[in-house]
């Protein structure tokens, strides 16, 4: 259940807090070694998942969608509203619906490497393009409210870290602004790929809060807010982060 009614003024506050020209990608705060790893597709470990995604695409998705290059620009517009289902959807949810509705196949589990592989492959087609998610209501305001809600036993909000203290240090690492322009991404901390939902789940666990389920309205609304907050920033999928 969404914890707040729509609060449109929070949307304006999001853009006033970090000016568009001042926003920093997590790439900007990474070490030279990590940036070099992301810049070189041959050294970027996320491309192991991309290769798996290519095999999965040609083994089924291409029958409906053709060459994966036709997906250029798609990931830059997600999360997006699905009129038929009257709900906000992420790329991962769209992939799973394609499987269940058109391939008579079961949905992948949220952290399944195959789902990460396909979403990384689709995201790669938009690499270098600006994020351009539509700020649809009431999801945008609900996501903005969640971003600023103090949660969990530590009584902390996303904004306290990723706006008020962005650029400071925590446990030896720079606190990023929290822009989702590289997901799914390879994190050295995880030694593997992860979705934006995995990052949200880890943050909620970190403040000892109730975790949203991956298919929840809360998770999708927060993902939309974060993406619109980053609109205009360049898609880096699949990024590499510490």
In angstroms, the CA 25 to CA 239 distance is: 10
∠ CA 220-112-71, rounded to 5°: 65
∠ CA 162-165-168, rounded to 5°: 110
Q: Catalogue the active-site residues.
A: 203
DSSP string, 105-156: -PPPPTT-HHHHHHHHHHHHTTTTSBP-----TTHHHHHHHHHH--BTTTTB
Indicate the pairing of strand 240-241 with strand 185-187. Answer: parallel
Q: What angle, rounded to 10 degrees, do the helices at 139-148 and 9-17 form?
A: 60
């Amino acid at each position: 259940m969404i914890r707040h009614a729509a609060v449109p003024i929070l949307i304006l506050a999001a853009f006033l807090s970090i000016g568009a020209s001042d926003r920093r990608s997590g790439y900007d705060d990474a070490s030279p070694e990590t940036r070099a790893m992301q810049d070189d597709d041959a050294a970027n470990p996320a491309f192991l998942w991309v290769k798996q995604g290519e095999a999965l695409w040609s083994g089924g998705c291409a029958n409906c969608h053709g060459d994966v290059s036709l997906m250029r620009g798609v990931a830059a517009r997600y999360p997006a509203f699905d009129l038929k289902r009257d709900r906000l959807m992420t790329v991962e949810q769209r992939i799973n619906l394609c499987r269940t509705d058109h391939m008579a196949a079961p949905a992948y589990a949220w952290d399944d490497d195959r789902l990460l592989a396909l979403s990384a492959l689709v995201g790669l087609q938009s690499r270098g393009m600006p994020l351009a998610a539509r700020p649809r209501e009431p999801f945008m305001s609900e996501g903005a409210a969640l971003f600023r809600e103090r949660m969990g036993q530590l009584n902390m909000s996303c904004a306290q870290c990723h706006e008020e203290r962005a650029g400071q240090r925590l446990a030896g690492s720079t606190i990023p602004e929290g822009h989702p322009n590289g997901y799914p991404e390879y994190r050295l901390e995880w030694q593997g790929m992860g979705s934006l939902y995995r990052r949200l789940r880890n943050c909620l666990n970190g403040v000892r809060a109730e975790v949203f389920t991956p298919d929840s309205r809360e998770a999708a609304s927060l993902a939309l807010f974060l993406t619109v907050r980053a609109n205009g920033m360049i898609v880096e999928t699949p990024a590499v982060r510490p």
